[in-house]
């Protein structure tokens, strides 16, 4: 069965329904009007260069079967070539004014089209009800001239004294350089095509001495309090910091996109939805210098001010490679995170698979619950599952006794809480450090952890490492399942291979059940 994920005026995205993580069990071809337009193995595929308001019949051909899907593209008011506004696209002349003028002028429901070329630009501001299409060989290239990037205030007071928020980073409202593509309080935007948004971070000073800058670094795409935004097909690369940062936004979709940056690039997370509701990340490929996906909801001051949790995040049929964590929750999660579903994904050579980063001080609204991992394959992931309530990075008080004390401290307004976590139908090969490392707080134990139909095998040449970033952490190698301060533990049909020492270590729990554990 073929599911239609998205159809716009000039592109559409589809998903093959099967149980294989990211890749289809066999190669297939896609034909449109009798012509082959795609051939590959991915479960999610797209077609581009379609005509608006047109009926299409698409055929997906496997070795022994074929399925046909009919769909009609959306209508649009117009399609305007950005060169009509004077954009040059030679990678030398700056095209900022031409591009921004085109964005400002194009009619609602219009499409701004970028033909082949490299469009050198300073930051651009989005407006509502438009589509931006980057053709296959079109590159939107960020300028390296940091002095010409506007600094956006975190908050501006209007004439009546009302606060209007505009910028934030790492869970704090703070001034930031305008991002390469930035939207504030806008809706109904689509950025589509096979082209590339390139932050050009490697050629400027964005990755060097950034803690000395007068404001926080820009992102490649920053969406502040936006609604109904879709990125489809595009590649986002080499951002100054996080690549895609939806911030207090709703209905955000990232479909069949790629995000890439060198492994050594600092804090170049692929996508970090922060205090967002209804986020779909489907059919995407990530290879970056930090976390692939990091779901956030701010630090405690911002959480107490706005009370906006992260909710309803769906991650499916994605490939995560080389990042610190494939899926991370936190560490800025003070308003809470709930209803996160990660299914049918493939993780390769990330440091961790699931990575939850919390700590004392995140606050009483920091309730993380209803997190599901199902049908996941991990290859050479050092530690497949990490839930760490002792995270010791970023914050000024990271090394204080309040953070590292193993004593049962009083529960107060600063105490976070973790609820239900389910890990099902997972195959993890060539792990190194630990199969599962879960470390809760003594005064606020994790409610429940379920492991069902999970297999983890360790590499024969596994090297020791630290499973979780916490004070006084010990290196481990081929550690099995470690759980501390979890109220209820369920281990069913779990197989471990190559463990050194005990397969299951559990301390400070109320109830534990094991069935079919090897």
* Nearest by Cα to 482 from 404, 390, 383: 383
- For the segment 200-221, the average pLDDT, to the nearest whole number, is 97
Checking DSSP bridges between strand 235-237 and strand 258-260, what pairing results, if any?
Answer: parallel
CATH code assigned to 76-288: 2.160.20.10
User: What are 408-442's pLDDT values in tens digits?
Assistant: 999 999 999 999 999 999 999 999 999 999 999 99
Q: By C-alpha distance, which of 243, 241, 238, 237 is closest to 202?
A: 238
- Give the tens place of pLDDT for each residue, 355-408: 999 999 999 999 999 999 999 999 999 999 999 999 998 889 999 999 999 999
Pair of tokens at residue 514? 């094991």
pLDDT at 467 > cutoff 90? yes
pTM for the full predicted model = 0.98
Q: How far is CA 21 from CA 18, 318, 344, in A?
A: 9, 8, 4
Burial of 263 (0-12, 13-18, 19+ CB in 10 A): middle
How far is the first Cα of the chain from the last one, in angstroms, to the nearest whole number? Answer: 36
Residue 33 confidence (pLDDT): 85
Q: Specify the CATH class of 2-72 in words.
A: mainly beta
Same fold, 2-72 and 76-288: no
CA 353/CA 436 separation, integer angstroms = 10
Of 387, 356, 392, 349, residue with least CA distance to 481: 387
CA gap 323, 320 in Å, rounded:
7
Confidence grade of residue 261 (pLDDT, cut at 50, 70, 90): very high
What proportion of the chain, given as a percentage, has pLDDT over 90?
97
Q: Write the pLDDT tens digit of every residue in 3-56.
A: 999 999 999 999 999 999 999 999 999 999 889 999 999 999 999 999 999 999
Fold assignment, 291-518: Pectate Lyase C-like (2.160.20)
φ, ψ for residue 278, nearest 5 deg: 60, 85
Q: Are 481 and 494 in contact (CB under 8 A)?
A: yes
Q: Is the pLDDT of residue 518 over 90?
A: no
- 3-class SS of residue 35: strand
The number of beta carbons lying within 10 Å of the beta carbon of residue 290 is 21
**pLDDT given at position 193:** 98
- pLDDT category, 352, cuts 50, 70, 90? very high
CA distance 358 to 349: 23
Enzyme catalytic residues: 290, 324
Mean pLDDT of the chain: 97
Structure tokens at 357: 């980063």
Q: Where are the domains of the chain?
A: 2-72, 76-288, 291-518
pLDDT tens-digit readout, 278-334: 999 999 999 999 999 999 999 999 999 999 999 999 999 999 999 899 999 999 999
22: β partners:
none
């Amino acid at each position: 069965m073929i599911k239609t994920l998205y159809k716009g005026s000039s592109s559409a995205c589809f998903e093959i329904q099967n149980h294989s993580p990211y890749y289809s069990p066999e190669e297939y071809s896609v034909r449109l009007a009798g012509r082959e337009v795609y051939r590959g193995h991915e479960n999610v595929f797209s077609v581009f260069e379609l005509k608006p308001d047109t009926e299409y019949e698409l055929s997906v051909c496997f070795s022994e079967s074929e399925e046909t899907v009919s769909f009609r593209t959306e209508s649009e008011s117009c399609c305007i070539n950005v060169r009509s506004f004077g954009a040059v696209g030679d990678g030398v002349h700056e095209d900022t004014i031409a591009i921004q003028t085109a964005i400002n002028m194009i009619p609602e429901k219009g499409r701004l089209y970028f033909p082949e070329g490299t469009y050198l630009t300073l930051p651009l501001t989005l407006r509502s009800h438009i589509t931006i299409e980057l053709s296959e060989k079109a590159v939107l290239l960020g300028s390296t001239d940091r002095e010409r990037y506007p600094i956006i205030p975190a908050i501006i007071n209007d004439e009546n004294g009302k606060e209007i928020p505009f910028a934030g980073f790492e869970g704090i409202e703070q001034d930031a350089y305008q991002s390469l593509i930035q939207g504030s309080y806008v809706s109904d935007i689509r950025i589509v095509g096979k082209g590339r948004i390139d932050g050009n971070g490697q050629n400027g000073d964005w990755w060097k001495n950034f803690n000395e800058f007068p404001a926080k670094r820009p992102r490649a795409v920053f969406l502040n309090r936006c609604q109904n935004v879709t990125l489809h097909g595009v590649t986002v690369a080499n951002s100054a910091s996080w690549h895609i940062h939806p911030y207090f936004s709703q209905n955000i979709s990232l479909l069949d996109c790629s995000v890439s940056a060198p492994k050594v690039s600092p804090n170049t997370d692929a996508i970090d939805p922060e205090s967002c509701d209804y986020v779909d990340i489907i059919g995407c490929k990530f290879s970056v210098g930090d976390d692939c996906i990091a779901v956030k909801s701010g630090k405690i001051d911002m959480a107490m001010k706005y009370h906006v949790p992260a909710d309803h995040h769906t991650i499916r049929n994605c490939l995560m490679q080389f990042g610190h964590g494939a899926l991370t929750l936190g560490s800025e999660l003070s308003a809470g995170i709930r209803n996160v579903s990660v299914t049918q994904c493939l993780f390769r050579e990330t440091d961790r698979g699931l990575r939850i980063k919390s700590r004392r001080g995140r606050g009483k609204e920091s309730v993380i619950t209803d997190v599901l991992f199902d049908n996941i394959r991990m290859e050479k992931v050092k530690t497949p599952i990490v839930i760490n309530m002792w995270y010791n990075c970023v914050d000024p008080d990271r090394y204080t006794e309040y953070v590292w004390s193993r004593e049962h401290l009083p529960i107060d307004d600063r105490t976070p809480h973790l609820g239900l976590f389910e890990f099902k139908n997972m195959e993890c090969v060539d792990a190194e450090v630990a199969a599962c490392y879960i470390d809760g707080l003594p005064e606020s134990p994790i409610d429940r952890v379920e492991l069902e139909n999970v297999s983890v095998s360790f590499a024969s040449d596994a090297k020791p490492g630290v499973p979780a970033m916490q004070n006084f952490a010990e290196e481990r190698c081929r550690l099995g399942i470690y759980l501390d301060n979890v109220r209820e533990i369920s281990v069913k049909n779990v197989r471990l291979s190559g463990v050194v020492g005990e397969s299951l270590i559990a301390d400070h729990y109320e109830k534990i059940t094991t069935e079919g554990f090897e």
